[in-house]
Amino acid sequence: MIKMDSTANGSKALFKNYEEILHGPLQHLRRDALAIVESGIKSAIPYHSVKEKMRLKGDILTIDSHTFDLSAYDRILVIGVGKGAYPIAMALEECLGNRIDRGFVAVKDSGARKLEHIRVFPSSHPIPDERSVSAGEIIREMLCSTTEKDLILAPITGGSSALVNLPPEEISIGDLAETNRLLLECGATIGEINTVRKHLCRLKGGGFLRAAQPAHVVTITLDTAPPDMPWPDLVLPDETTFSDALNVIRQYDLTERIPQSVMQYLKDSVFHAERETLKTLSGLHQTLVYTTSPFSCCMAARREAERLGYHAMILSSCIEGEAKDFGIGMAGVAREIHRNGIPLPAPCAVISGGETTVTIQDAAGYGGPNQECVLGFAWKAQDCGNAVFVSVDTDGTDGPTDLAGGICDSNTRNEMTEAGVDIKDCLNHHDAGTGLQKAHDHIITGHTGTNVMNLRVLLVE
């Protein structure tokens, strides 16, 4: 987890290539935009919010507004998964120490991280592999060994769909990985992707919670969901069905491309009600605690923008859609501000969150949704006055890359042309990362310790 500070050099701690991306005549705007992004990400690191929400006095553990008498339990287990699970687990261990009888968290493989009472297991993301299955088997074994005298503290955050997988016996991890890859590239929304994923894993779609009964499960999570996708899906009921999963595959013309074992399992399962995901929480022992959200991340960014002297607004914290098109749209917003002072007078900051996607038809280059979003903006932003646009994935990894996202301004297209980069060609071939790196507009943070989807900041001077 990255340690943040509130000094003027704080951004240098987050952005590994901070000096490199502060170039050109608008570097003062770039500096402000990065400071605003840093404030948003810092606010979303769950370690701090969990520490604020949790208190232990004698045997009484309070988490948010929920109270647990630890003397009523034989064991306290920590079982978690996700890109933000480690800082939550760290906060739990600091509070409970050797009261934790056994612990396991599956996290994104991003360097050595250890805890004294909780095993930290590095797994695979965004495409699952054998480590994902191993993590799933360990978690299921722990869950199935519990009784009503066990308290399970479950840090579960975004990324768990790849980090932990327990596919049916009929489906190999290779076929599951190929299915994930096809879904990520077809342009489906994250909700549609997870409709399929939840029906190919025995822990998703509430499977974690069902396997843990009759123990009491306290899920500590980040609220990362768009309105139509409850999160975290390992411990919540799922209204979608096997038929819905098949419809997603058909909608995106993947029927002939999805591995046969996956298609056959989904088709067969339509007639096996016992395979369906969890549909209700009725009668289950569970508590859900949210620590932070895309909206709170956007709010923190807005406060920093106002502190720096900008008129600021949150456009939305739950944007979805094609990444390139949203970037082009934000260039239109910048143009309207520059010309007419609408929806805000300059200098201003327009902040948004959510999760955009990329539709890949043929072979793709190097990039991710945030990088493509930035390049879409750069393509259309020449007549927007002095404007800077940043788009990053708050977890530090944008798509299947080691970049967090990118930054550009209203001069970027000309600068890229001089550097031999054809923006339109990069967009057509989904090679935004290559173009941004050549122009020194790629952002590197490494793993941040949180995951509340994407954060975007537009500044107009």
CB atoms within 10 A of CB 12: 15
Is the confidence at residue 256, as pLDDT, over 80? yes
pTM (2 d.p.): 0.81
Print burial letters for 297-313: b (CB count within 10 Å at least 16), e (below 16): bbbbbbebbeebebbbe
The reported pLDDT for the residue numbered 453 is: 86
| pLDDT, tens digit (0-9, with 9 covering 90-100), for 140-167 | 999 999 999 999 999 998 888 889 999 9
Instruction: Report the alpha-carbon distance of residue 407 to residue 424 in Å, rounded.
Output: 17
pLDDT band at 4 (very low <50, low <70, confident <90, very high): very low
For 10-44+294-460, CATH number?
3.40.1480.10
Alpha carbon separation from 71 to 58, 117, 219, 238, 252 (Å, rounded) = 9, 19, 20, 33, 52
| pLDDT, tens digit (0-9, with 9 covering 90-100), for 5-21 | 333 344 667 999 999 99
Asked if 12 contacts 457 with a C-beta cutoff of 8 angstroms, the reply is no
Considering only residues 81 and 3, tell me which one the structure prediction assigns the higher pLDDT.
Answer: 81
Alpha carbon separation from 183 to 36, 147, 186, 227 (Å, rounded) = 32, 37, 5, 20
Span 265-283, average pLDDT: 95
Pairing state between β 54-57 and 75-81: unpaired
Is the confidence at residue 50, as pLDDT, over 80? yes
User: Where do the structural domains in the chain lie, given as residue ranges?
Assistant: 10-44+294-460, 46-166+201-240+277-290
The reported pLDDT for the residue numbered 371 is: 97
Query: Could you tell me what percent of the chain has a pLDDT over 70?
Result: 95
Instruction: Report the alpha-carbon distance of residue 389 to residue 327 in Å, rounded.
Output: 9
Q: Which residues, 6 or more positions from 455, have their beta carbon under 8 angstroms from its beta carbon? A: 37, 40, 41, 294, 297, 298, 301, 351, 352, 353, 391, 392, 394
The secondary structure of 398-455 as a DSSP string is -TTSS--EEEEETTHHHHHHHTT--HHHHHHTT-HHHHHHHTT-EE-----S---SEE
The reported pLDDT for the residue numbered 112 is: 65
The reported pLDDT for the residue numbered 119 is: 97
Measure the CA angle with vertex 179, ends 176 and 180; round to 5°: 90
Pairing state between β 348-354 and 454-460: antiparallel
Supply the mean pLDDT for the chain: 92
The reported pLDDT for the residue numbered 6 is: 36
CATH value of 46-166+201-240+277-290 in 3.40.50.720, 3.40.50.10180, 3.40.50.2300, 3.40.50.300? 3.40.50.10180
Q: Which amino acid is at 317?
A: S
Instruction: Report the alpha-carbon distance of residue 328 to residue 413 in Å, rounded.
Output: 13
Span 173-193, average pLDDT: 90
The reported pLDDT for the residue numbered 183 is: 93
The reported pLDDT for the residue numbered 115 is: 95
Query: Could you tell me what percent of the chain has a pLDDT over 90?
Result: 81
Is the confidence at residue 191, as pLDDT, over 50? yes
Is the confidence at residue 3, as pLDDT, over 70? no
Angle between helices 173-185 and 190-198 (to 10 degrees): 160
Instruction: Report the alpha-carbon distance of residue 303 to residue 308 in Å, rounded.
Output: 9
Unique residue bearing structure tokens 């943070």? 445
171 three-class SS: coil
The reported pLDDT for the residue numbered 447 is: 86
| pLDDT, tens digit (0-9, with 9 covering 90-100), for 209-234 | 999 999 999 999 987 655 544 568 89
Is the confidence at residue 78, as pLDDT, over 50? yes
Asked if 451 contacts 45 with a C-beta cutoff of 8 angstroms, the reply is no
Which residue(s) pair with 39 in the sheet? none
Instruction: Report the alpha-carbon distance of residue 137 to residue 146 in Å, rounded.
Output: 15
Unique residue bearing structure tokens 């001069």? 411
| pLDDT, tens digit (0-9, with 9 covering 90-100), for 297-306 | 999 999 999 9
Output phi, psi for 161, to 5 deg: -60, -30
| pLDDT, tens digit (0-9, with 9 covering 90-100), for 324-373 | 999 999 999 999 999 999 999 999 999 999 989 998 877 789 999 999 99
Q: What is the CA radius of gyration of the chain?
A: 22
CB atoms within 10 A of CB 230: 16
Lowest mean pLDDT among 20-24, 325-329, 445-449: 445-449
Pairing state between β 119-123 and 102-108: parallel
User: 72, exposed or middle or buried, with CB in 10 Å at 0-12, 13-18, 19+?
Assistant: exposed
Q: Which amino acid is at 88?
A: I
Asked if 426 contacts 435 with a C-beta cutoff of 8 angstroms, the reply is yes
Which residue(s) pair with 406 in the sheet? 391, 442
The reported pLDDT for the residue numbered 9 is: 41
| pLDDT, tens digit (0-9, with 9 covering 90-100), for 93-104 | 999 999 999 999
Alpha carbon separation from 239 to 167, 223, 233, 306, 400 (Å, rounded) = 20, 18, 11, 41, 29
Q: In what order do the strands lie in the sheet with 66-69?
A: 54-57, 60-63, 66-69
Unique residue bearing structure tokens 């046969």? 260
Is the confidence at residue 378, as pLDDT, over 90? yes
